[in-house]
Amino acid sequence: MAMSQTNLASVQSAPSVAAAEPDVAVSARQISKTYGEVEALRSLSLEFPRGQLTSLLGPSGCGKTTLLKIVAGLLEPDSGEILVNGKAVTGPGPDRAFVFQDFALLPWASVIRNVAFGLELRGVAKSEREDVARKYIGNVGLAGFENAYPHELSGGMRQRVGLARALSVDADVLLMDEPFSAVDEQTRRKFQEDLLSLVQNENKTFIFVTHSIEEAVYVSDQIAILLPRPSRVLEVIRPSGFRDSGAVNIRRDPEYLDIVDKIWASLRSYVE
Amino acid sequence: MISRSLVLKLLSAVLVFGAWEIAGRVPVSYAFPTFLESMTALVAMTLDGTLFAAYAETLQPLVIGVLISAFLGIGIGVWIGLSTKFEWLFSPIFIVMQAAPLAALIPLLVMAYGIGLTSKVFVVCIMAMPVIVLNTAGAVRNTPASIKEMARSFLAKDSDVILKIIIPAASPVIFSGLRLGVSAGFIGAILSELKITPTGVGDIITYSRSIADYPSMYAAIFSIILLAVLFLNVLEKLEHIFFGGNHRGYVSD
Amino acid sequence: MRMFGYRLPGMSSLIVWGLLWELVGRLGVTFFLPPLSEVFVTLFEVIGTPAFLKALGETAYAFILGVFFAIVIGVPTGILMGKNRLVDELLLPWVNIFLSAPLTALVPVLMVLFGFGMQSIIITTTLFAIWIIILNARAGVMQINRSLVEMARCFGASPFEAFTKIYFWAALPEILGGVRIGVIRAVKGVIIGQLLISIVGFGALFELYSANFLMAHFWAVLIVLFALAFTISELLAYLERRVSYYAAKR
């Protein structure tokens, strides 16, 4: 199992970030999963630090969504285990919330019922869950759309609903499966900026699946590069130098550009 | 300003009824009354109450049959959609029923259950049930996987998944299955009145034919087709009102 | 459905139902249900008799002609409606009405107009099949990719060429889908027609059997009919799948 930890932090800022070994919220241990003949994951291990955003990045077919769904408890691994806050995962749990690539909104339910749906399933009383939902609808910038239906919203707004639903159950870990891949480029940029402040303000652990190198480098505290056939973690990159330079400056930062180039160099031979 | 589509609909109706009137005046056949004669007969039957009495009788097997088919059909359909075992056992029956000319069973039903209401209800049921069952089962089976997965990831129990995800997601298709079932039920109800025993509207049609009162016969046929079409249109409107948002809801553009 | 690790074929449960039928028949629960084996024996006896062959021939004749007229009239009408807005708006309300109307009510009219014979049955069959064929051909034409039509015009296709080389083929999957449903409806139409005009085909045969309480004969003919109807509908579904390979890629 080749797993190298590369720290590309520039010299000046290195001590403050790399000093404390971060506390681990989720860890995957020796996860294997095959679908019939196809080996999706082989003995994969990875740790996700608390309060940070970790991206799973790789070409299609490298098993990143499979890994995320195993963490969510939606799929069972053939072997290995997932620990969330030290406890083994046996199925979906209240400590994790999922944001879906295709939003997975209930078409027959209003925005507020969609956002409150996680709480509804937990048996929270209607008025209470709607208060919570209203708060998060405001937080994601959809105030005023509480009674709209999903088909009346744009793709970007629908994903905000999906995000608000995941936030409203107040889980420790947020699992995001290519959440911005179905929205247009400009909306995606806005989302990425919002995600940065979300990671900073909410003390949650984010696991973020993407196939966009730029997106991964832009939003992540830690990037795990996954390779297909057999699926494995090529390396884990922890960008650190540009995290504090402000959302608008990241894309101009030399370190940002270096990491993007470096990742592309290591992935290009796997893209057919 | 009246809309173009309404004008064209009226024009289309005038053209068809006008052609009917002219064909009746020529006449193309001794048994082809004009449109106006038929409508006069219709008004006369409405005014003297014959038509209402007839419909009270015709609608009986239809309503009972459709209600039975709806309850049984949706129940069996949901079950087939949820369980692969049940699907293996029962869906072939309904698939064959859907493709087969079940009307051929009518002589048998008459022998088994006589010429009364029971037979007629049976005819309506065998016509209406297959489409209700198959639509329901298909809709339940095709519930988008992603919203079921979403519900599970937010800790839904199995009963929650069925009641809060599968049933609401399937209800538009179930409802349109019901509409198709009602449509088939109308065919069955009229068929049984023409084939088994002439009662209700079937009686008006058969009787007026036997005494060569063609305007009354055409009027009765016109009225039953009108009733069926109007009723089915109302159902379709209801479908739009209830489930309007659903048709576009699943796309993730 | 799997059993002992093997995948059971889709229709295999019909065997279970057949066995159940045999059992109920042997127990003599009801006079109306003779054992399945007896029905099959009767089936092979009946199938060669002149009465059966005559009924089958008459039914096939009415069915084939009825479907033929439904397709020959329905497909061009549908394509025309898809292409021309005025025609569409004039005809669509009527097509929709007859699609859902209880057409059985029209059979008495056909009987007084065209007599108690083959003609009425053929028209009944056509009436059952044609509306869905029109509607599907129309839908097929309306969904044609605009750039396909523009491409044809750019390369200088005449209206007739555009019709035969673009419209027909681009709408073919929908047209075939309509024909399949139309044919299933036609099977029902031809039987309903024969039942109401019960002096020809299977209608006459049914009258004969039920008047003489020949239950096994009755069921044997029913099984043949159902099997034929089912085979026709599966055959057309297979054809439709063969054609729809390119429909998926549009």
Q: Do C97 and B225 touch (CB under 8 A)?
A: yes
> Hey, are the CB atoms on B252 and A97 less than 8 Å from each other?
no
Please give the C-alpha separations between residue C231 and each of C181, C224, C227, in angstroms, as whole numbers.
13, 10, 6
Buried b (16+ CB within 10 A) or exposed e, A90-128: eebbebbbbbbbbbbbbbbbbbbbbbbbbbbbeebeeee
Q: Which among C16, C17, C192 has CB closest to B103? A: C192
Determine the distance in angstroms separating the CA of A102 from the nearest CA of chain B, rounded to an integer: 6
* Dist CA B147 CA B252 (whole Å): 12
| CB within 8 Å: B205 and C225 | no
The CA distance from C180 to C184, in Å, is 6
* Residue C244 confidence class, pLDDT cut points 50, 70, 90: low
3-state secondary structure chain A: CCCEEECCCCCCCHHHHHCCCCCEEEEEEEEEEEECCEEEEEEEEEEEECCCEEEEECCCCCCHHHHHHHHHCCCCCCEEEEEECCEECCCCCCCEEEECCCCCCCCCCCHHHHHCHHHHHCCCCHHHHHHHHHHHHHHCCCCCCCCCCHHHCCHHHHHHHHHHHHHHCCCCEEEEECCCCCCCHHHHHHHHHHHHHHHHHCCCEEEEEECCHHHHHHHCCEEEEEECCCCEEEEEECCCCCCCCCCCCHHHCHHHHHHHHHHHHHHHHHCC
Nearest CA in chain A to B148: A104
Task: Tell the burial category of B135 from Cβ atoms under 10 Å away from its Cβ (0-12, 13-18, 19+).
Answer: buried
Inter-chain contact B103–C187, Cβ cutoff 8 Å? no
| Residue of chain C with shortest Cα separation from B217 | C109
Q: Which residues of chain A have pLDDT under 50?
A: 1-20
pLDDT for the residue numbered C145: 75
Chain A: nearest CA to B239, how far in angstroms? 13
Q: Examine the pLDDT at B249 and tell me if it is beyond 50.
A: no
- Beta bridge partners, A79, equal A32
Per-residue pLDDT averaged across C203-231, rounded? 85
CB contact under 8 A, A165 and B249: no
**For residue C210, what are the CA distances in angstroms to A244, B102, C205?**
90, 16, 9
Task: Please identify which residue in the block is written with the tokens 């139409």.
Answer: C189
Pairing verdict, β A87-88 and A53-57: unpaired
Mapped onto helix, strand or coil, the DSSP state of residue C207 is: helix
**What is the mean predicted confidence (pLDDT) over B105-117?**
85
Question: What is the mean predicted confidence (pLDDT) over C15-21?
Answer: 90
Selected for mutation to probe chain C from B6, B7, B11, B12 (highest C CB count within 10 Å) is: B12
Q: Are B186 and B104 in contact (CB under 8 A)?
A: no
Q: What is the dihedral of CA C93, C96, C97, C101, to 10 degrees?
A: 180
State which residue of chain B sits closest to C194, comparing Cα positions.
Answer: B104
For residue B225, name the pLDDT band (cuts at 50, 70, 90).
very high
Query: Which residues neighbour B106 within 8 Å (Cβ) at sequence distance 6 or greater?
Result: B119, B123, B191, B192, B195, B196, C195
Distance CA B208, CA B221 (A): 11
Torsion of CA C203, C205, C209, C215, to 10 degrees: -90
CA B199 from centroid of its chain's CA atoms: 20
| pLDDT, mean over chain A | 84
**C1–B88 C-beta distance less than 8 A:** yes
Report the first-to-last Cα separation within chain B, whole angstroms.
37
Task: Please report, to the nearest 10 degrees, the dihedral formed by the alpha carbons of residues C45, C48, C53, C55 taken in order.
Answer: 0
Lowest mean pLDDT among B1-5, B128-132, B195-199, B223-227: B1-5
Structure tokens at B130: 């297959």
pLDDT, tens only, A6-19: 444 333 333 334 44
Nearest to B99 among C91, C213, C229 (CB): C229
Q: Which of A108, A128, A129 shows the shortest CA–CA distance to A117?
A: A129
Report whether C129 contacts C74 (CB < 8 A): yes
For position A28, what pLDDT does the model report? 92
Helix intervals (H) in B26-49: 35-47
- Those residues with Cβ within 8 angstroms of residue C90's Cβ, 6 or more apart along the chain or in another chain: B8, B11, B12, B15
Domain boundaries in chain C? 56-243
Question: What's the pLDDT score for residue A12?
Answer: 38
Label residue C173 by pLDDT band (50, 70, 90): confident
> For all residues of chain B together, what is the average pLDDT?
87
Helix (H), strand (E) at residue C164: none
Mean pLDDT for the stretch of residues B210-237: 90
pLDDT of residue A232: 79
- Provide the terminal-to-terminal Cα distance of chain C, rounded to the nearest Å: 33
State in words which class domain C56-243 has: mainly alpha
Q: Residue C155: its pLDDT value, please?
A: 74
Tell me if C207 sits within 8 A of B207, measured CB to CB. Answer: no
Question: How many angstroms separate the CA atoms of C50 and C184, rounded?
Answer: 27
> What pLDDT band is residue B140 in, cutting at 50, 70 and 90?
very high
Cis peptide before A230 (omega within 30 of 0): yes
Structure-block tokens of residue A269: 């031979």
Q: What pLDDT shows up at residue B253?
A: 28
What domains appear along chain B, each with residue ranges and CATH number? 33-242 (1.10.3720.10)
Which chain A residues have any C-beta within 8 angstroms of a chain B C-beta?
69, 72-74, 92-94, 96-98, 100, 102-109, 117-118, 120-122, 149-152, 155, 158, 165, 169, 182
Above 60 in pLDDT, residue C220?
yes
Q: Which CATH superfamily is domain A4-95+173-270 in?
A: P-loop containing nucleotide triphosphate hydrolases (3.40.50.300)
Give the pLDDT confidence score for residue C137 in this predicted structure: 92
Averaged pLDDT for residues C84-89: 88
Give residue-wise pLDDT tens across range C124-159. 999 999 999 999 999 988 888 777 777 777 776 777
Structural tokens at position C106? 């029209």
Interval C94-113: pLDDT, tens: 999 998 889 999 998 998 88
| Touching chains, B (3+ CB pairs < 8 A) | A, C
Cα B210 to Cα B217: distance, rounded to the nearest angstrom: 10
Residues 6+ apart with CB under 8 A from B113: B119, B122
Among the partner residues A74, A151, A158, nearest to B149 by beta-carbon distance: A74
Amino acid B82 reads L
